[in-house]
Amino acid sequence: MVLAVLLGTVTVANATDDKDWSFSGFLDTYYQYDSRKPSEPLLFGRQFDIYRDRGSIAVGQLNVAYKPSNSHAIGFVANLTVGKNAELINLGEPANRAYEAFHQLYATYTFGGKTPITVDLGKFSTPIGYEVAESINNDQHSRSFVYTFAQPIYHTGVRVSAPLTSKLTGTAIIAQGWNEVEDSGKNKAGILSVAYVASSKTTIYCNYYLAEEGSKFANDNGIFGGFGFTTDSRAKVCLFDASVVHQATDKLKVGVNGTYGTANHASGASFEDSKFYGVAGYAKYQLSPELGLSFRADTFNDDGGVRSGTDGLSLSSFTAGADYTFKKNVVFRLEFRRDAANRAVFADDGTGANNRSTFTFAVAFKF
C-alpha cells in the first residue's frame, strides 16, 4: 500500500509544478543500556525507546506534502512510516495495524478572505503537549512520562483553524477519539486549542479535550479502545493541557508543559473517577550551530491507575543530552536518563526496583 502511494505521488509530482510539492524524511536508530537487568529486554514506561542492551531501527519516515500554488486547489499531507515506533503508536488502535503506515494523512484547504480558515480532513498529530512523535523534532531522544502516559498522539477527523487576532490562533477538532482512526464507540471527541504569541520570544499553547473513551471489543493486542483500557470499560475523559515556550536568548530556549486529566465512571473497571496529571520542564542550549545541550525534568501521577495500570503510581525522571549535527543531515545524540517511582515498577533480574538509569546513543539520518 505504501509503495503504491509513493509511486502515485511521484507520477503526479512529475506532471505538476515541482514548487507545489515538498519531500523530506528521516531514519531514526538507537542503542540503549539499562542499569537494571530485566528478564525481558523491554523497559516499562517508555514510549519508543523500549529496548535494553540492543540496537534498534526505531522508525523510517517519508514526508510528502502538496501545497498547490492555485489557491482554489486542495492540498494534502502524508507522513509514511515503517518500523517499531509505528507499531507502538498504534497499540490501542481499534483498526489494529490497518492504518499504521500513515502517521499523518489528511487533505487540506484554506478558504481565503479577511480571516483565512484552514480545514483539514483525515489523520493528524495531536496539538496536545510539548513533545511530538518524531524524535528529530524534540530536544531529547526519549519522551517524558507526561508524553507517554498523559497525552494522545493522533486524532482522525476534521480540524478547523483560523487566526482570531494578529497574535491568537484558534483550532477546533472533531475526532474519533484518543489514538483512533476507527471509532471504538458512538461518541466523538472534541478538542479546542489556542496558540498565543505573547511576544517575539514567548508563545503560549492551551488545549482542552473531551470525549467518551473505551470499547466493548478488544483489538488484536487485547486493548479496548485507543485510550488503552485492558478491560471492557467506558470513561468520560476530560483533559487540560498548557505549554509555554520562551526563547530566553539566541542560544537558550526553555519550556514547560502541564497536563491534567480525569477519567470518570469507567464501567466494568476497578478504577472509577480517576485522575492523571503531570508537568515537564525543558531547556535547550545551542553551543554552536552543530552542538547543543538539553535538559528535561518531569513528573507524572496516576491516581486510580487508569493510564499506567497501577493505582497511585508516581513517576519522575531527569534527562540530560547532547546532540551533534554533521553536514546538516546526520544527528548524533547521547542521552543519560534517571527514572524514579514510588513503587518497584522497574524490572531487575526477576524482581523490581524503584529507580533505574539508562544511557542511549542515537543516530538520525535526515533528507
pLDDT tens for 101-157 read 999 999 999 998 889 999 999 999 999 999 999 999 999 999 999 999 999 999 999
DSSP 276-331: EEEEEEEEEEESSSSEEEEEEEEEEEEETSTTTSSTTEEEEEEEEEEEEEETTTEE
Lowest mean pLDDT among 80-94, 197-211, 218-232, 258-272: 258-272
HSE, CB side, 13 Å, CA atoms: give it for residue 73. 9
Residue 13 has pLDDT above 70, yes or no: no
Domain assignments of the chain as residue spans, ordered by start: 2-366
Instruction: Please give the torsion angle defined by the CA atoms of residues 115, 244, 58 and 120, in that order, rounded to the nearest 10 degrees.
Output: -10
Average pLDDT of the chain, as a whole number: 91
Q: Which residues pair with 162 in a beta bridge?
A: 170
Is pLDDT at 339 greater than 70 in this prediction? yes
- Of 90, 132, 87, the residue nearest 228 (C-alpha): 90
- Indicate the pLDDT class of residue 1, thresholds 50, 70 and 90: very low
Quote the pLDDT of residue 234.
86
Looking at residue 230, its pLDDT comes to: 85
The whole-number average pLDDT for the span 75-100 is: 95
Grid cell for residue 39:
528478564
What are the φ and ψ backbone dihedral angles of 14, each rounded to 5 degrees? Answer: -65, -25
Topology of domain 2-366 in CATH is Porin (2.40.160)
Instruction: Convert the pLDDT of each residue in 207-244 to its tens digit.
Output: 999 999 988 899 999 999 999 988 888 889 999 999 99
Asked whether residue 332 carries a pLDDT value surpassing 80, the answer given is yes
What pLDDT is recorded for position 267?
56
Beta bridge partners of 311: none
- 177's enclosing H/E stretch is none
Coil, strand, or helix at residue 29? Answer: strand
Question: pTM of this prediction?
Answer: 0.91
Question: Is residue 16 pLDDT above 70, yes or no?
Answer: no
Per cent of the chain over pLDDT 70 is: 93
Mean pLDDT of 56-65: 96
Q: Would you mind telling me the total number of residues written for the chain in this entry?
A: 367
User: Span 197-213, mean pLDDT?
Assistant: 97
Conformational region of residue 304, where left means phi above 0, alpha means psi within -120 to 50, and beta covers everything else: left
Q: Which among 107, 138, 238, 126 is positioned nearest to 171, based on CA atoms?
A: 126
In 3D space, the residue among 38, 27, 16 whose CA is nearest the CA of residue 356 turns out to be 38
Q: How far apart are CA 365 and CA 206, in angstroms?
A: 32
Instruction: Please tell me the distance from the alpha carbon of residue 263 to that of residue 238, in angstroms, as a whole number.
Output: 7
> Residue 61 burial (CB < 10 Å; 0-12/13-18/19+)?
buried
